[in-house]
Amino acid sequence: MRILVGLGTCGIAAGAEATFRALREKAEAAGVPVRVEKTGCLGMCYREPLVEVQDDGGIHYRYGHLTSDKVDRLLEEHVRGGRPVAEWVVWSNNGIGTEKAFLERQHRIVLRNCGLIDPERIEQYIEAGGYKAFTETLERNDPDAVIQIMTESGLRGRGGAGFLTGMKWRFTRLAPGAKKFIICNADEGDPGAFMDRSVLESDPHSVLEGMAIAGFAIGAADGYIYVRAEYPKAIERLNIAIAQAEERGFLGGNILGRGFSFNVKLKEGAGAFVCGEETALIASIEGKRGMPRVRPPFPASKGLWECPTSINNVETFANVPWILTHGAEAFNSLGTANSKGTKVFAMAGKVRRGGLVEVPMGISIKEIVFGICGGIKDDKRFKTVQIGGPSGGFIPAELQETIIDYESITKTGAIMGSGGLVVMDETTCIVDVVRFFLEFTQRESCGKCTFCRIGTKRMLEVLTRITEGDGREGDIELLEQLALLVKNNSLCGLGQSAPNPVLTTLRYFRGEYEAHISNKKCPAHHCQKLLTYTISDVCNGCTVCGKACPSDAITGDKKVKHVIDQSKCIQCDECYRHCKFGAVVRD
């Protein structure tokens, strides 16, 4: 019998390390014949810590919220007694479990090994078919055939721009220059996005194998992984994986005696969001300040140290070995006419089942939010999804039938981005959440472009003024004007897409802006300075609200309805949160 404990960052944060230690120590002390092993993220982040028990008969039971205090019962009833603890099972391959819909509606290619293998043991990756595609590629010794397969597969870069991977590799291969480079962009900086981190923590060898295949295809002997320093567990496991691959002869000089050499180095980024842009990333690797440059020339012809360079992100590289193993047709049979394969999304926000999902292109937003992720928490009304990171866009509930592909998402005014999908309900103030994202992109602007540097700051000032009750007539038109100026005149993708949250919400939620400006009201009852607090007749004079009020704005005798002095009220929300009878009303 084998027990796997999910020890990705999400699991560790939920206490999985304590569960792992307890399982090992108690199983050993009791002489229970079971192997307790670590694995990466299982995707069901909302049910961490996650533990999977694999019976000798081939039945797998996945337990959710398996904290260390539950270990004794698990070992006694399931491992010793052979009786699964049914109320804790979230999924099993024999049909039971409370969360079957989350996994069974997915199609896992990038996440194929996540939660199934120990990311720190290369032998488990090899047993799962790892490095087979790379080995066969070297045996065939036909770089053009590799590029042709990637082109026929229709794989588009998963970092956001969606450029055809095979075409990018071909451009780089044909570019003049003896020295060429492969770069993996793992600078995942979008709030609410954790796809790349989870893949690197759970299946790092799939990315290394994809990079090695790409290196062979374009004629590169060196590769870099540009990874955020804020991802310590991913960095730790990448270093382990690189060392193991070198020891096994899958990386280094004269790989497998085939005359091809490929080395991989890590470059830890310092958290600059703009370094997700490829030319800024290249500058950072070179030891310069991470700032974008004018294109063309594109990196495929003149990139790292002026040499031809092919840059793809983590998810793109993780697809490569699978495509070469199963064929281009198997991959392009999934998806839509121009968006092939699958897409990984990090589900966050007001959704019941948050975590990682991998779905075929062409699935609708509604199917992801409600079919796979269980709908909105607390049965609130679905309002919008924010897709593509802080410089993505908002797609409203009335467009939830929109399918996931590059063209359909672009038609809404949003962008696919790298795959963060934040779900919002009726309690979300659109204006304030846009202000939050503009605050992020304004802070992360490198400052090179005047329109981006100044324009995002002016937009942020207007949005802040609106949420604080000081909105003016003409502010909406001013926001639109500034947004278009920044979008059309910025140098890189950060500035060009930073206005998307403003433009998409003005398109779909204009009335909410107007309510803030003209009526001085926040329809979502979120912006504190736009709220008025009153006490209704259901007040029984319990005095709790008066004791909670920091400005002494609430008066009234015990068992008598209380009153709020509006001149003293500071809209701190304390009375509303402390009232147990619903007597305090926000308007």
- State pLDDT tens for residues 402-445: 999 999 999 999 988 888 899 999 999 999 999 999 999 999 99
Give the rounded distance of the alpha carbon of 430 from its chain centre: 21
Six token digits for residue 180: 């060429």
Q: 378: Cβ–Cβ under 8 A, 6 or more apart, which residues?
A: none
> Are 156 and 340 contacting, i.e. CB atoms less than 8 angstroms apart?
yes
CATH code of the domain in which 363 resides: 3.10.20.600
> Are 6 and 49 contacting, i.e. CB atoms less than 8 angstroms apart?
yes
Six token digits for residue 201: 């923590």
Domain assignment present for 106? no
Strands of the sheet containing 60-63, edge to edge, are 35-39, 2-6, 51-54, 60-63, 89-92
pLDDT at 139: 96
> Are 401 and 364 contacting, i.e. CB atoms less than 8 angstroms apart?
yes
Cα–Cα nearest to 2, from 76, 112, 70, 78: 78
Dihedral, 392, 394, 400, 403 alpha carbons, nearest 10: -20
Q: Taking each helix axis from N to C terminus, what angle separates 195-202 and 204-218, rounded to the nearest 10 degrees?
A: 100
Q: Is 415 left (phi over 0), alpha (psi -120 to 50) or beta?
A: beta
Domain assignment present for 151? yes
CATH code of the domain in which 566 resides: 3.30.70.20
In whole angstroms, how far apart are CA 179 and each of 148, 307, 310?
22, 6, 12
Pairing of strands 35-39, 2-6: parallel
Domain assignment present for 135? yes
- State pLDDT tens for residues 329-377: 999 999 999 999 999 999 999 999 999 999 999 999 999 999 999 999 9
Q: If DSSP states are collapsed to H, E and C, what string results for 319-339?
A: HHHHHHHHCHHHHHCCECCCC
> Are 368 and 407 contacting, i.e. CB atoms less than 8 angstroms apart?
no
Say if residue 416 is in the same domain as residue 441. Answer: no
Six token digits for residue 68: 């260390």
Say if residue 348 is in the same domain as residue 469. Answer: no
Six token digits for residue 501: 């949250």
pLDDT at 193: 87
Domain assignment present for 30? yes
Of the residues 400, 425, 450, the one at which a domain ends: 425
pLDDT at 392: 87
Say if residue 268 is in the same domain as residue 363. Answer: no
Of the residues 270, 298, 331, the one at which a domain ends: 331
Separation CA 31–CA 35 (nearest Å): 11
CATH code of the domain in which 133 resides: 3.40.50.11540
Domain assignment present for 412? yes
CATH code of the domain in which 466 resides: 1.20.1440.230
Six token digits for residue 234: 């991913």
Structural domain count, the chain? 5
Say if residue 390 is in the same domain as residue 374. Answer: yes
Neighbours of 164 (CB within 10 A): 17
Separation CA 44–CA 36 (nearest Å): 20
Domain assignment present for 347? yes
> Are 336 and 406 contacting, i.e. CB atoms less than 8 angstroms apart?
no
Q: What is the mean pLDDT of each run of 10 residues along the chain (587 residues)?
A: 95 97 94 93 94 92 97 94 94 87 92 96 97 97 97 92 93 96 93 91 98 98 96 97 98 95 96 92 96 93 97 97 97 95 95 96 96 95 93 94 94 88 96 96 93 96 96 96 96 92 97 96 92 94 95 94 94 92 92
Say if residue 313 is in the same domain as residue 357. Answer: no
Domain that holds residue 578: 531-586
Say if residue 26 is in the same domain as residue 44. Answer: yes
